[in-house]
Structure 1
Amino acid sequence: MNWVEIKALHKLYTNGEVKINQTLDKSPVFKNHQNALEIERGRKSFTRNDIFLEVYERRYLKDYEKYAAFLEGEGLLKPQLRFNKNDIDLLIQFKQGIANGSLLTRRNELEEAQESVRGFSHMFFKNDKYLDGKTLLIDAINTIFDITLVDNKSQQYLYVLQCKDPNLIILCENGNFLNRDKIPRANGYELWYAGGRNIPKLEYTHQIRRGLPIYYSGDWDKDGLEIFELAKQKISDLKLLLPNGISKSINATDHKSLWKYPEAPERLSGLKPKLYNEEKTLLIIELIKKNHWITEEGNNLKVMIENYNS
């Protein structure tokens, strides 16, 4: 049973009805209760009877309250959350183990060994590939243990699009621009791709910069700007390029990076205000108000550089 099913069962308990979605349509949990407890299935929703109330309170209510409190406390209650029950139980055990000290030695060993995602998965989950692609779960583990598990992809070197006579460097959040060499090479832009959030390696780039100015190009969403802030901790003179692409609806594009505090856009989604000038601050506020984002690949590198230096 995953969090979508757990949450839906609770909504059925509290509201008497829950809309059928793709997950619930295929859910063995709902199918079993439908047969055993006479949950009624309509065309668009499930409804419950009094028998369900008694069974839910006996079998599920305490777990829901425990899980909801934990997930909210860890800042994990997001629309895209799909953790299963065993995952949540294990995260709670991790949190308790760190708090009571029983996992501190293991935590220090993981940090010292620069443990990988797959190595951690092999230790604690059913196989070494269990965590592959489960970004939210990996982020939760990193937060609880206060470590950074090494990605299964290489962490130790940059992907670089070189040119004959570079006059500046652009650090790209995504790899898209590195596959489009015409504009950067024609204009003397050397492009670096560190791999999204995988930026610890930037500490070792001083010599290979050759004194060139360096700029950051990325998605203008919560994640992209958070990555900029992390990268700026490693490269203090990193300059943020202002996008020139057209913003898109986060909902319409089924985008997964959601702004925090949409009810208070002036909080800049928890970003650090001192890193953004007035023009960039106003753009972030506008994007939050509209619930929009701007993709990195929708921008023109040359125009961004020219606008920055004009």
Structure 2
Amino acid sequence: MNWIELRALNNLYKNGEVKLNDTLAKSGEINYLTNSLRIIDRSYNKLYSLDGYTEIYEKEYLEKYNCYENFLLENGLLRHQIRFEENDIKTLMNIQCWKKEGTLEELRKQIIASDESLRGISLMFFKNDKYLDNKSSLVDALKKILEVEHFSNDRDQQYIYKLECHNPKVIVLCENLDFLTKPNKPRQHGIELWYAGGKNVSKLDYADTRGLPIYYSCDWDFDGLFIIYPLVKKKIPSIQLLTPNGSPRGIEETEHNSRWGNGKDRNIDCILTNQQQHIVRGLIYNNQWIIEESNDLLNMLEILSNK
């Protein structure tokens, strides 16, 4: 859902009716409440709440709507014309949370120092380097939350983000940013974290591991295993893939975009252990994937060191 749909559902809750527009007419959520649950009625130009709507709305929508609205108000982002997707708002809220916790400041300084590109920022926070294209309101919101004046127009960023520590023992290159926003445990255990930006691996030509063991942490999906990891392995032949311990999730139920497809026909067994091959075959067979941030990083490294 986007903010227009969320606001309309709240107006229905407060006023019992709302004017129909093109966004609401095409809304899958509103169509579900209208045609399946039958708690909304629709005329040619209006939506009306029916018996049962108040109960469902208070149970499923009210708390999160108030949370989103308060966040947008507090940060000066609540404007009539905004069309933020619900996940956009959640991402902005996460970034603000990291900032309040103090885990964002080091990354923020690196973003400024590297003159990070808009495409790099898009990939960093949204897992798609083109997601922020033509979304000026969302870009402005990101600048405000991150307290960054501008993003570079260059498409390729050549800067490796690093969460350093005293006396590092190992390096972990992460496909996604999440682990770098939780620095305490990695630092306590001498783990230096790197983030290069998903498929943007060309910068690894210049990576200096200083003789430290280096491991790769990623989403266990088609992109992470069959595209990105082989590219990383060519750049840093000594890198080893960490075996996940997170729970698999259904690709369909999570609306995940990286589907196995012809992954079944690509042979990467030569860079996987027997255990990893077994896990991949199971994920493909069950049409599942494992999200990188669902793993316990320390546990993955501990198991590896005990072998």
| TM-score for both structures, normalised by structure 2 | 0.50
CA distance in 1, matches of 2:190, 2:184: 10
Instruction: Confirm or deny that 1:231 pairs with 2:227.
Output: no
Structure-2 residue corresponding to 1:217: 217
Structure-1 residue corresponding to 2:288: 292
Q: Give the aligned residue type for 2:257.
A: K
Structure-1 residue corresponding to 2:259: 258
- Measured after TM superposition, the shift of residue 205 of structure 1 is 1.0
1:269/1:170 Cα in 2 relative to 1: closer, same or farther (>3 Å)?
farther
Deviations 1:112-155 (A, max 9, x none): xxxx999xxxxxxxxxxxx93399xxxxxxxxxxxxxx994652
**Which SS does the other structure have where 2:261 is aligned?**
coil
Q: Is the 8 A contact 1:268 1:284 kept in 2?
A: no
**Which SS does the other structure have where 1:164 is aligned?**
coil
Q: Is the 8 A contact 1:260 1:270 kept in 2?
A: no
Cα root mean square deviation, aligned: 2.9
CA distance in 1, matches of 2:303, 2:297: 10
1:269/1:301 Cα in 2 relative to 1: closer, same or farther (>3 Å)?
farther
CA distance in 2, matches of 1:224, 1:217: 9
Q: Give the aligned residue type for 2:303.
A: N
User: Pairwise mapping of residues 157-196 of structure 1 onto structure 2 (< 5 A)?
Assistant: 157-196=159-198
Q: Give the aligned residue type for 2:211.
A: G
**Which SS does the other structure have where 2:285 is aligned?**
helix
Structure-2 residue corresponding to 1:246: 247
Q: Is the 8 A contact 1:222 1:269 kept in 2?
A: no
Q: Give the aligned residue type for 1:239.
A: Q
1:303 maps to which of 286, 299, 305: 299
1:270 maps to which of 266, 273, 276: 266
**Which SS does the other structure have where 2:162 is aligned?**
strand
Deviations 1:212-250 (A, max 9, x none): 010000100001112111101100011000000000000
User: Pairwise mapping of residues 55-204 of structure 1 onto structure 2 (< 5 A)?
Assistant: 132-133=130-131, 152=154, 155-204=157-206
- Measured after TM superposition, the shift of residue 273 of structure 1 is 1.8
**Which SS does the other structure have where 2:171 is aligned?**
strand
1:269/1:257 Cα in 2 relative to 1: closer, same or farther (>3 Å)?
farther
CA distance in 1, matches of 2:154, 2:243: 32
Deviations 1:140-190 (A, max 9, x none): xxxxxxxxxx99465211100010110010000000000000110010000
**Which SS does the other structure have where 1:191 is aligned?**
strand
1:271/1:227 Cα in 2 relative to 1: closer, same or farther (>3 Å)?
farther
Q: Give the aligned residue type for 2:243.
A: L
**Which SS does the other structure have where 2:193 is aligned?**
strand
Instruction: Confirm or deny that 1:281 pairs with 2:277.
Output: yes
**Which SS does the other structure have where 1:281 is aligned?**
helix
CA distance in 2, matches of 1:235, 1:168: 14
| Bigger radius of gyration | 1
Structure 1 unaligned residues grouped into runs of 5+: 1-21, 27-42, 45-115, 119-130, 136-149, 262-266
Q: Is the 8 A contact 1:166 1:190 kept in 2?
A: yes
Q: Give the aligned residue type for 1:216.
A: Y
Q: Is the 8 A contact 1:259 1:269 kept in 2?
A: no
Q: Give the aligned residue type for 1:277.
A: T
